[in-house]
Amino acid sequence: MSDRVRRASLHDLSEDRPIVVLAPHPDDESLGCGALLAAAFAGPGARVVCMTDGGASHRNSRDWPRARLAALRANELEAAILALGGTAGCITRLGLPDAEMLELGPRYDEIAQEIAQVAQAADARVLIAPAPTDPHCDHEATAEIAGLVAARTGMRLLFYPVWSAWHDPAYRDRLPYLVEHRFDTSAARAAKSRAIAAHRSQHGEVVTDDPDGFVLPEAFLAAFGSGDEIFFESPI
């Protein structure tokens, strides 16, 4: 490995304090950080801040209108965190509108302050957010808010790629970072698999009346269910 790519332990990524993970939607925490979360829950602890309600994944469903789907996804998130060894008390739900976070720009400072309070209450030193290169408006917005939190608190900021890692092999060239940390998932792979599976609404297993609704691709799930988790150290 090069100097910019390092094997990372839980100690390296947590500094032996609880970590705070920002998930744009219920499932991002399991896909991008499931193994790290499992290790953290078994050690210093973790907090997961879910940014949106996740209610826009199946816009055309009559059986699952937005409020009902959002409530289901909240339950799925809790099941995923339990599968990783956490508790419902480890979750903070901001309930922001799914797929509309870029429209909340005037509120970013307020949102950042709420997250900073969660981090300070947990005595966390490390904040983990989706990569700004992820081609989804809520991921981009969450990454921007994470930068505000890091500037406000002095926390280390790490980015985990989800959709950029899947869609763009050259995404690293567009992502400013100091070090690429690689976390071995083998010890927690079974727990991570259960956590990903807990998000059933995103696997095509629940909502059956919206053929255009979102479904996680099988190859995508296979890629995120195995191999290292990747965390980029932000220069912010």
Task: Tell how far CA 233 is from the center of its chain.
Answer: 15
Distance CA 98, CA 51 (A): 8
Distance CA 191, CA 235 (A): 31
Q: For the whole model, what pTM was predicted?
A: 0.98
Residues forming beta bridges with residue 19, ordered by sequence position = 46, 126
Written as six digits, the tokens of 149 are: 């939190």
Distance CA 234, CA 236 (A): 5
- Give, for all 236 residues of the chain, the pLDDT tens digit: 678 999 999 999 999 999 999 999 999 999 999 999 999 999 999 999 999 999 999 999 999 999 999 999 999 999 999 999 999 999 999 999 999 999 999 999 999 999 999 999 999 999 999 999 999 999 999 999 999 999 999 999 999 999 999 999 999 999 999 999 999 999 999 999 999 999 999 999 999 999 999 999 999 999 999 999 999 999 98
Instruction: Kindly report the CATH class assigned to 5-233.
Output: alpha beta
Q: Are 11 and 126 in contact (CB under 8 A)?
A: no
DSSP at 152: H
